[in-house]
Amino acid sequence: MKPCLIFDLDGTLVDSLSGIAGSLNRTLSAHGLPVHSETMVRSFVGDGLRMLVQRGAHPISDPAHIDALVSFFKKDYEASWASGTRAYPGIHNLLDELQKSGHPLAVLSNKTHDFTVAMVQAVFPNIHFTKVLGQQDGVRHKPHPAGAFLIAQTAGVDPENCYLIGDSTIDLETANNADMKPICVTWGYHDRAKLLEAGATVLIDHPSELPALVI
């Protein structure tokens, strides 16, 4: 069997920053809190919704207050994410090529599971993913390898025969924790320098570079 290719979502397959920033800032503004630039919100992304909100609302840390912000964000994002999300250039062609070549494809995200599934289905309706997994109860999120192992098991592929492709140091750490092969992309939310500092050895600057690495 060809290697299984496990993709991160935000910053790897889709550019969703404007949608995330819009919902976060509307959430903060509605609760009388300062808003942030997209550049700042970019630094908040990667560790799931609650951490996104906590970083945006800092120094507020009261759990009940954060719960209210998370609830507001979910409602806003559900109604608005589509207008602030698009596939990165070249991603549709890449996934189509990989699908035709017989690679099992999957998505592993720290985005809330319901949003992850909805986004993948809407943006990539013609691509079959063996497993789409977002953050949910019962499965520890990245960089813990539990989700990556679950995907490998579902695909019927040993972890050593999986590539984990993502834009962040969290994805790199997840791949290492799962004994999978990491490939870091440079078009997402983490800078090349941070990826290199974290130990990345395989980096690509455009989706068209990926197929030659996973044959």
Q: Where are the beta strands (DSSP E) in 66-187?
A: 86-87, 105-112, 131-135, 162-166, 181-185
CATH 1.10.150 is held by the domain 17-84:
yes
- 2-20 residue pLDDT tens: 999 999 999 999 999 999 9
Strands (E) located in 117-211: 131-135, 162-166, 181-185, 203-204
Can you tell me the distance from the alpha carbon of 33 to that of 108, in angstroms, rounded to the nearest whole number? Answer: 31
Q: What is the pTM of this model?
A: 0.93
What's phi and psi for 56, nearest 5 deg? -70, -30
Contact status, residue 95 vs residue 105, Cβ threshold 8 Å: yes
| CATH fold group of domain 4-15+86-213 | Rossmann fold (3.40.50)
Q: Are 167 and 147 in contact (CB under 8 A)?
A: no
Domain locations in the chain? 4-15+86-213, 17-84
Residues 88-144 have pLDDT tens digits of 999 999 999 999 999 999 999 999 999 999 999 999 999 999 999 999 999 999 999
Cross-strand pairs, 3: none
